[in-house]
Amino acid sequence: MKTFLLFVATALAEIVGCYLPWLWLRQGRSAWLLVPAAAALALFVWLLSLHPTATGRVYAAYGGVYVAVALLWLWRVDGVRPGTWDLVGAAFALTGMGIIMFAPRGS
């Protein structure tokens, strides 16, 4: 559960770090949004470094959680409800994350 929650926090940091510049570029919001965006992306990198396993495995598994969190963002922030196929895709992505992170490993 700790690993999953760490992935969720990581995904939120990445999404915020990308969403704020998008607001500036696409919606004409203040360039000052780049300051918290940079902080969020630095937090994203730091959070990824907290995982105790090989980086390639962490990045691969993180992608599955990112898909699910991005769809939650789509729903809660963008106001677009994910469709059935979005949810099916997220379920597959999360299943892949679970297999990658929690499969038994030999020495």
Model pLDDT, residue 107: 61
Model pLDDT, residue 59: 87
Total Cβ atoms within 10 A of residue 85 = 8
CB contact at 8 A, 63 and 89? no
Model pLDDT, residue 51: 81
Whole-number Cα distances in Å, 99 to 24, 62, 91, 92, 94: 38, 12, 12, 11, 9
d(CA 107, CA 70): 34
Whole-number Cα distances in Å, 9 to 4, 23, 50: 9, 21, 12
Average pLDDT value for residue range 40-47: 96
Average pLDDT value for residue range 35-46: 97
d(CA 16, CA 72): 13
pLDDT digits (tens, 9 = 90+) for 47-87: 988 987 778 888 888 899 999 999 999 999 999 999 999 99
Total-model pTM: 0.86
Domain boundaries, the chain: 2-102
